[in-house]
Structure 1
Amino acid sequence: MTQQMTRIANPATCDPRTGVTRSLLGYGVIAGPLYVMVSLAQALTREGFDLSRHAWSLLANGGLGWIQIANFVLAGLMVVVCATGLRRALGTGYGAAWAPRLVGGYGLSLVGAGIFRADPAMGFPAGTPQGPGEVTWHGMLHFACGAVGFLCVIAACFVIGRRFAVAGRTGWAVYSRLTGTLFLAGFVAVATGAGAAWANLGFVTGVVIVWAWLSALSLHLYRHVTPEHV
């Protein structure tokens, strides 16, 4: 009798559409931690890799480069799936259509960044000359995919921030906007820092921050999604 009353009081627990939406959002919860852990594990173990000088994209080079390529593609696909969950969970209102599109664009850019490998540079992999090195067509496409994706996720932060502000959720509004601002600062730093350690570390910090935001947002919506949202 108690279990039956619990199900009636919490219809979301037995609604299949809600379950699907939560499953889709779950990919957004795990995508960032998985991407960061795999990247850091390689950064700390690959010969010649220096976290203060080398972008994580460079890990796609060398004999073990396939690991980072797979990391890009898998994380990107999970973000695309998460974007579908966002669309279902947000329902209507400000940003309900554009936020998922922008997050999905970020996911597709990660897939593209994995397909189009960054060029060896700055002495990595071991044996590569110091300096930026030669830029190939796939290196150019890698940078283009990254730039588009970064702008998409920055815009998504501000769109979601505006949605929360309209709803009177000041904490989430500030958090989302601050995330977008910090990631934008990291992106500008690495684009203009000419390989400086401070610029690379600032960008890595921004990447971790934006992944944490996507995980937190996905988890928040996962916990609060109801049948009327799906």
Structure 2
Amino acid sequence: MTTNNVTIPASTRVSTRALLTGGIVAGPLYVAVWLGQAFTREAFDITRHPASLLANGGPGWIQTANFVIAGLLSIGAAAGLRRTLTGRGSRWAPRLLGAYGVGLLLAALFPADPAAGFPAGTPADYAEISARGMGHFVAGTVGFTGLIAGCLVVAAHYRSIGRTAFSRYSAATGILFFGAFAGLSAGAGSRPTIIAFGVAVLLGWTWIAAVCADQHRNA
């Protein structure tokens, strides 16, 4: 197969497909682990607590591992996209998706602080931010900025090759995610902003899976 004017051996082609498959499964795996904990961890309320808080408490290692696995799969998917995307946005789209993966790894390294009654025993009005909590905020900013910008760059790519529907889908995902992230940052943990952000996370992972599945056909 020839990609970006470079002939890729069959062994590498298989590797590219594996990387893109990782991008396809990353989201469903992340969401399954997130929701599995959300409905079983004591004191966790999915309408009040973002997924990041699950990294606290005894079973917190599960969400930490979830961040690490999702981050590595996203970085791998970015490497796969680097081999398959051509034309406008082919250089920056993989880098931006890779930044999202790095953000997930940093989120594992710097867990979110306990807040709003979680984990069990935390005061309902507790909202202090430690150094690690600030690190988590930086991680989210890096990762989500990469994802949002990646959506817009990929939208430009698909528009340049005449795939208007996929272009609009990508742009809409980026705009909606930006709105949800901005709302979360400004909403001080209100229920509407937590719910909206949870929906945005689902949309973001769905978009990553859709792009990787589309490019898998070119690998």
Select 2:76's aligned residue among 71, 74, 81.
Answer: 81
Distance 1:146 1:71 in 2: 15
Aligned equivalent of 2:57 = 62
Distance 2:125 2:84 in 1: 46
State yes or no: 1:116 paired with 2:110.
Answer: yes
| CA displacement at 1:224 relative to structure 2 | 2.6
SS in 1 for 2:198: helix
Relative to structure 1, the CA distance from residue 184 to residue 132 in structure 2 (aligned partners, 3 Å threshold; closer, same or farther) is: farther
Which residue type is aligned with residue 113 of structure 1?
A
Aligned equivalent of 2:214 = 220
State yes or no: 1:182 paired with 2:176.
Answer: yes
Q: Deviations over 1:75-125 (max 9, x none)?
A: 0011011110010011x3111110000000100110000111110000000
Aligned equivalent of 2:33 = 38
Distance 2:20 2:38 in 1: 28
Distance 1:185 1:132 in 2: 26
Q: CA RMSD in A?
A: 1.1
Which residue type is aligned with residue 55 of structure 2?
A
| CA displacement at 1:171 relative to structure 2 | 0.8
| Number of residue pairs aligned between Structure 1 and Structure 2 | 211
SS in 1 for 2:113: coil
SS in 2 for 1:45: coil
Q: TM-score, normalised by structure 2?
A: 0.94
| Structure 2 stretches lacking a partner, 5+ long | 1-8
Distance 1:17 1:127 in 2: 51
Aligned equivalent of 1:106 = 100
Distance 1:15 1:126 in 2: 52
| CA displacement at 1:17 relative to structure 2 | 2.7
Distance 1:131 1:180 in 2: 32
Which residue type is aligned with residue 140 of structure 1?
M
Distance 1:76 1:59 in 2: 16
Aligned equivalent of 1:137 = 131
| CA displacement at 1:132 relative to structure 2 | 4.4
What percent identity do the matched residue pairs reach? 49
Distance 1:84 1:137 in 2: 32
Aligned equivalent of 1:202 = 196
Distance 1:132 1:178 in 2: 35
Q: Normalized per residue, which structure has more helix?
A: 1
Distance 1:65 1:50 in 2: 15
Q: Deviations over 1:126-159 (max 9, x none)?
A: 1001124221111100110101110110000000
Distance 1:202 1:185 in 2: 9
Distance 2:92 2:155 in 1: 12
| CA displacement at 1:57 relative to structure 2 | 0.4
| CA displacement at 1:193 relative to structure 2 | 1.1
Which residue type is aligned with residue 157 of structure 1?
C
Which residue type is aligned with residue 185 of structure 1?
G
Which residue type is aligned with residue 14 of structure 2?
G
Distance 1:38 1:20 in 2: 26
